[in-house]
Structure 1
């Protein structure tokens, strides 16, 4: 925090994606509330009534927001989830696979899994495939980020696409105006989109 504030006192600073709420600096990121609403709406649309959550440890703003918004929207939609179905680790293939295996070992499967990155989702899908489960017929999976691997997966991964170009452009616009005496910190969340493919 202190190093960020020192840098901001010397040059214009815009936080992108993750943010530190304890410092009064501009921020541009994805609207995680809307992202989770899109995913939960898709769950309901596909008839899923129970869902697990695979994410990263709640050590940054993105992880915290996505988990909180997930809980908010499943409760609002009446989609069932349980504490035992919440798996928090790292944004990696290995963690997605481990989380899926924990779910499988417990023997109590939800109808779907919401993942907070494509890497977690792809790792989970691999473990479900290895266990002989059909996706999305026996368990549906969604990702977050829309990496190039999402469309190469089998089945192709339904995921959230972040407006990365727009985020960069808005950050540049904020930086361009930062020298003005009237410039004040700006907080801007941009709407993502849901890429509907085959896994959910």
Structure 2
């Protein structure tokens, strides 16, 4: 299995679920970290295909630049993609239904009475992050939320970027009503910085994350987030890989699984202004 970063809690949890599924199928896991670098990814894929692996599960670094290395690997071993996909690669993929996920988040934020929204993300070649941004634009428009281009911030999937994004928002004359983050690490860093600057997250502004990593529930305030169905994603990926190992001409399959919105304190908005807006919208 090859993932962009084993230090990211989302991929750590995904690897754990995959290993459980592989153990049940009497298969062993060799884990590689591509360090979010397409050149490292290509070297890892060459190494794996020169060994004795039966198949490879990959969450690719870049939806375009990962293509050539993946295509070479697919000539030697069965490959199934997880979470992220690559344009022009005809192989199985399992991941999240980002359109459904962003619809859940936007509907919840609009139900709080929010009118203006910021979106903090890290596209950087990630197909899933790009899908989330595109889906967020559509969902916000559907529920009457204003998502201005100047309130879309693109950085990286780290706590540090969340802090930086918070600083960028704090420089503005007013904060948006809600901040949607495409990753929990970003959201946790952002919430920490806002809180340290006197902003009451969950009262002055609503913040949502994405993935429901373990730290999301432990954050202060606890983070409202989109929980990914990791056990299902892992089970489907392993099943598809086994089918491809048995029959390389198996039809290509794409599974987009639905997540669940987990409500916590970071969107418990109680200020009089928010209540007034909610009443007006009713």
Partner residue of 1:12?
A: 78
Partner residue of 1:163?
A: 229
Match of 1:193 among 220, 240, 260: 260
Match of 2:114 among 48, 59, 66: 48
Cα offset for 1:47? 1.4
- Higher Cα Rg: structure 1 or 2? 2
Cα distance change, pair 58–77 in 1 and its aligned pair in 2 (3 A)? farther
Secondary structure at 2:113 match in 1: coil
- Structure 2 distance, partners of 1:159, 1:190, is 16
Matches of residues 139-158 of structure 1 in structure 2 within 5 Å? 139-158=205-224
TM-score if structure 1 supplies the norm length? 0.96
Q: Unaligned stretches of 5+ in structure 1? A: none
Query: Greater CA deviation, 26-35 or 6-15?
Result: 6-15
Number of residue pairs matched? 200
Secondary structure at 2:109 match in 1: helix
- Structure 2 distance, partners of 1:26, 1:123, is 34
Q: Unaligned stretches of 5+ in structure 2? A: 1-66, 268-282
Partner residue of 2:96?
A: 30
- Runs of 4 or more consecutive aligned structure 1 residues displaced over 3 Å after TM superposition: none
Cα offset for 1:60? 1.4
Cα offset for 1:58? 4.1
Partner residue of 1:107?
A: 173
- Structure 2 distance, partners of 1:97, 1:65, is 23
Higher strand share: 1
- Structure 2 distance, partners of 1:108, 1:8, is 50
Cα distance change, pair 45–180 in 1 and its aligned pair in 2 (3 A)? same
Secondary structure at 1:121 match in 2: helix
Secondary structure at 2:147 match in 1: coil
- Residues 179, 206 of structure 2: 8 Å contact kept: yes
Cα offset for 1:3? 2.0
Partner residue of 1:180?
A: 247
- Structure 2 distance, partners of 1:77, 1:195, is 19
Match of 2:152 among 83, 86, 107: 86
TM-score if structure 2 supplies the norm length? 0.69
Greater RCO (CA < 8 Å, at least 6 residues apart):
1
CA RMSD of aligned residues (A): 1.2
Partner residue of 1:137?
A: 203
- Structure 1 distance, partners of 2:238, 2:196, is 45
Secondary structure at 1:177 match in 2: helix
Match of 2:142 among 57, 60, 76: 76
Cα offset for 1:146? 0.6
Cα offset for 1:30? 0.6
